[in-house]
Amino acid sequence: MVITPPGADDRPTVHLDPIPATVRHDVVRGGPHRGPKLLADEFFLLAHDDRSGRPRLHDAATNYGVAAALLGELAAAGSISFDRGRLWVLDHRPPQDWLQHRVLARLVAEPQHTATRTWLAFLAETVPEQVAERLWQAGKVAPQQRRRRLLRTSVVYVPTDTNVAAWSWARLSTHLREYKHLQPFDLALMGIATSCGLDQFILDGAGPSVFANLRRQLQAAPQPMRELLADLDTAIGSAVLSHRT
Amino acid sequence: MSSSPPDVSAVLARGRLGTWAVVFFVIAAAAPLTVVAGGATTGYAVTGVRGIPVAYLLVAAVLALFSVGYVAMSRRIVNAGAFYTYITRGLGRPAGVGAAFVAVVGYNAMQIGLYGGFGSVLAGFLADRGMQVPWWLCAYAAWAIVAVLGVLRIDLNGKVLAVMLIAEVVVALVYDAVMVTHPADGGVTVDTLSPSHLLAAGIGAALVTAITGFVGFEGTVVFSEETKDPRRTVPRATYLAVAITGLLYGASAWAMSVATGPDKIVDAATADGTDLMFNLVSPHLGSELVTIGRLLFITSLFAALLSFHHTVARYLFALGRERVLPAALGRTSRRTGAPKTGSIIQSTLAALVLAGYVLAGADPIMHLFFWVTVTGGLGVLILMTVTSLAVVVFFARTPNDDGLWRTRLAPGLATLALGAILVVTVEQFDTLLGVPTTSPLRWWIPASYGITATVGLAFALLLRTLRPDVYQAIGLGAQSATAPLRTPEPVHQAAR
């Protein structure tokens, strides 16, 4: 049940063999992390305070950002790709990660929905909680009940190690301020963060040339990544325009 | 998977808006009690025209006609900045930017003018209870709350709006019944509903006053993507909004003329101003019901203030997103997601205008509430006229199976009708303002829209030369990020 878009033949051939994690350039090693880093996990950590676990962003941005990051994970693994606002499944083989597996299964199960924005909206509703769970399983966060107004309680995922939680923020901030060329993983993470409005936070106080350099790098990003980011921008912009309480 | 979780369509359908939710949102912006107690009475007083009720009914009919093509287009183009997006798609990008600028000016005028109404009505309400507060202090209090709610992106809750709106409509209907059952000496007459008034002097002023009362109903299409079934929900909500408000306005304005006698309505409105309706019913009703009406008048003014504030902030956000205006406007507050810069700009502008009125010692009802909101109404009238034309041109160029009525006849007739209203309005702008025919204001206010539109047009042409990438994205609003990658789809297929 591959979603075959019109004009599928003119797209570049995508390499379907699973790439061993050791040579995958979407997996960044180093820093205080154990194990491979996952885009949605890193975005989730970036979007929440590294000590208290409180959100740094408004809900719509966090949810859409996490959704986009999860699609980004599948794209980086070669399972899916994006073109002209559509999302296609390229490889049905189940990914090892349970959450990626679950999302891919859903993409395959409902091929009638092809618009990237439809999937972003669906995943924004359903996956942020699951990404938090995945982080919990990896021991990077721990859930805590917080009492909010009146009787309502909410769960906050508090990072277990601030160094782990803040690592992406520190790395992105430093690399960009030093005008370094971002690796694909970091470029995707920073692109999603920028669409969600976290760029000003990550690059707080940086000069305009730093932002200009970031824009240039994002403009030169691979086409599928730019596609995903454009749809993320649109989704968040529309959420702002049609917001009602 | 044996126990399959809810499918994509089911998840996306959660929290989607039904017809009535959309109706409540848009009528809240139109603020029925504000129009009935404030707009109609001031309209009688300032224009001296007796035909206000028939003007409301005629305008409702014209707007229903306008809506036919408007909602047909909303099925093709889903975008939150409806008027200027449609104008861009129908008449080209320069016209679109011109329209966007006119919209920003017009909605700002609607919002800022309402402060005059709010300040004066609240001050009057407090004065009746022994508290002497100047109108501008009341206006600034509302301003401060709106400014804060604006940057926090807090809108009135849909349920609160629904309750308020139903209460407003019930109160207006009760008042109407009281006024009609207690007519002036001549008994119940339908004089003010006579179409003969449509040919009377000053009718242009009455018509644009009526149009001002409906502003806000055009917001239905903004909800397209949020509704359960955009193809049905949006048209139904639009027609319902026009019908409900039109009948209510017409009936209430008529009921007032019955209670005073048609020949005395203008004098009574001049003497009593926005108190007229309450004064007419208070001898026949318990004081609680009158107080409730007055309170609802104040809350409806506030709901309208907040609603138009958000409208302006979102317009500026959409233009910032497209980079037609500085990109900073297209950013949101990180924590609240509010279009912060646009919100602050609107609040600042409102504060400055209010300060100007205070310093000049101008009348809050006539010079601020009436003049400025009606100026806003004129802006929206211009936008609706041009939008109708854009609908005709768009469908003439786009293959469709929507039928002759929706794509040619209705929008064509709406263009002619709105155009005619526009011409008589501008011609009679002195009557509308209640100034001598020689007053330069009567030309300056309409001309300011001409200047604004020309600036927008020129700006778009400048962008075409200097920033072709920005020029390409004009009219795309939130979708502008996709412009460098693909031709945006005319229709966003909402998942069902």
ipTM comes to 0.86
Token pair belonging to A110 = 């409902």
The least confident of B89-98, B246-255, B467-476 is B467-476
A241 and B12 in contact by Cβ < 8 A? no
Checking if the pLDDT of B433 tops 90, the result is: no
Percent of chain A residues topping a pLDDT of 70: 82
For residue A121, the chain B residues in CB contact (below 8 A) are: 12, 495
- For the ranges A5-14, A23-32, B244-253, B281-290, the maximum mean pLDDT occurs at B244-253
A241 and B478 in contact by Cβ < 8 A? yes
Interval A63-83 mean pLDDT: 96
A197 and B331 in contact by Cβ < 8 A? yes
pLDDT-derived band at A149, boundaries 50, 70, 90: low
Q: Give A74's contacts (C-beta < 8 A, 6+ positions apart).
A: A80, A95, A100, A103, A104, A107
Percent of chain B residues topping a pLDDT of 70: 96
Give the single-character DSSP code of B111: H
For residue A52, the chain B residues in CB contact (below 8 A) are: none
Interface test with A, best of B332, B341, B487, B496 (most A CBs within 10 A): B332
Q: pLDDT at position B30, please?
A: 79
Checking if the pLDDT of A154 tops 90, the result is: no
Q: Give B367's contacts (C-beta < 8 A, 6+ positions apart).
A: B116, B357
The least confident of A4-18, A121-135, B274-288, B419-433 is A4-18
Checking if the pLDDT of A22 tops 80, the result is: no
Smallest Cβ–Cβ distance between B486 and the set A84, A198, A242 belongs to A84
Cα gap A155→A158, rounded to integer Å: 9
For residue B321, the chain A residues in CB contact (below 8 A) are: 237
A226 and B485 in contact by Cβ < 8 A? yes
Chain A residue whose CA is closest to B329: A237
Q: How many CB pairs under 8 A join A and B?
A: 126
Q: A211 touching B, CB under 8 A?
A: no
Q: Are A196 and A65 in contact (CB under 8 A)?
A: yes
CB atoms within 10 A of CB B22: 28
Cα gap B250→A2, rounded to integer Å: 58
Give the closest-approach CA distance of B308 to chain A in angstroms.
13
Q: pLDDT at position B466, please?
A: 94
Quote the mean pLDDT of chain B.
90
DSSP string across B456-482: HHHHHHHHHHH-HHHHHTTT-GGGGGG
- Over its C-alpha atoms, chain B yields an Rg (Å, rounded) of 22
pLDDT tens across B204-239, in order? 888 999 999 999 888 888 888 788 887 889 999 999
Chain A residue whose CA is closest to B336: A58
Residue A210 phi/psi, 5-degree rounding, is -65, -45
Chain B residue whose CA is closest to A127: B11
pLDDT tens across B257-303, in order? 999 999 999 999 999 999 999 999 999 998 899 999 999 999 999 99
Measure the N-to-C terminal CA separation of chain B; round to a whole number of Å.
22
Percent of chain B residues topping a pLDDT of 90: 63
Checking if the pLDDT of A193 tops 70, the result is: yes
Residue A153 phi/psi, 5-degree rounding, is -120, 155
- Over its C-alpha atoms, chain A yields an Rg (Å, rounded) of 18
Interface test with A, best of B7, B8, B9 (most A CBs within 10 A): B8
Cα gap B440→B461, rounded to integer Å: 31
pLDDT tens across B125-181, in order? 999 999 999 999 999 999 999 999 999 888 777 788 888 889 999 999 999 999 999
Token pair belonging to B81 = 């900045």
Token pair belonging to B266 = 């203008």
Smallest Cβ–Cβ distance between A118 and the set B8, B334, B335 belongs to B8
Q: pLDDT at position A13, please?
A: 37
Which positions 26-85 of A are in contact with B (Cβ < 8 Å)? 55-61, 84-85
For residue B484, the chain A residues in CB contact (below 8 A) are: 230
B451 vs A14, higher pLDDT: B451
B482 and A85 in contact by Cβ < 8 A? yes
B334 and A109 in contact by Cβ < 8 A? no
Q: Are B45 and B266 in contact (CB under 8 A)?
A: yes
Which positions 78-137 of A are in contact with B (Cβ < 8 Å)? 84-85, 105-106, 109-110, 113, 115, 117-119, 121-122, 125-126
pTM value? 0.90
pLDDT-derived band at A12, boundaries 50, 70, 90: very low
For residue A227, the chain B residues in CB contact (below 8 A) are: 485
Token pair belonging to A160 = 């277990």
B225 and A242 in contact by Cβ < 8 A? yes
Checking if the pLDDT of B18 tops 60, the result is: yes
What are the structural domains, with CATH classification, of chain B?
8-494 (1.20.1740.10)
Chain A residue whose CA is closest to B79: A238
A197 and B25 in contact by Cβ < 8 A? no
Helices (H), chain A: 39-46, 59-76, 98-109, 116-126, 128-137, 162-177, 184-195, 199-202, 208-219, 223-241
Interface test with B, best of A106, A120, A192, A242 (most B CBs within 10 A): A242
Q: pLDDT at position B12, please?
A: 83
pLDDT tens across A26-43, in order? 444 455 655 568 999 999
Chain A residue whose CA is closest to B224: A242
Q: A200 touching B, CB under 8 A?
A: yes
Quick one: which of B118, B113, B108, B106 has its CA closest to B377? Answer: B106
Measure the N-to-C terminal CA separation of chain A; round to a whole number of Å.
39
Smallest Cβ–Cβ distance between B337 and the set A60, A118, A233 belongs to A60
Interval B464-480 mean pLDDT: 88
Q: Spell out a b/e string for B455-467, using b for 16 or more CB atoms within 10 Å of the CB, else e.
A: ebbebbeebeeee
Q: A21 touching B, CB under 8 A?
A: no
Token pair belonging to B425 = 């309005």
How do A141-147 and A86-89 pair as beta strands? unpaired
3-state helix, strand, coil split of chain B in percent (to 5) is: 80, 0, 20
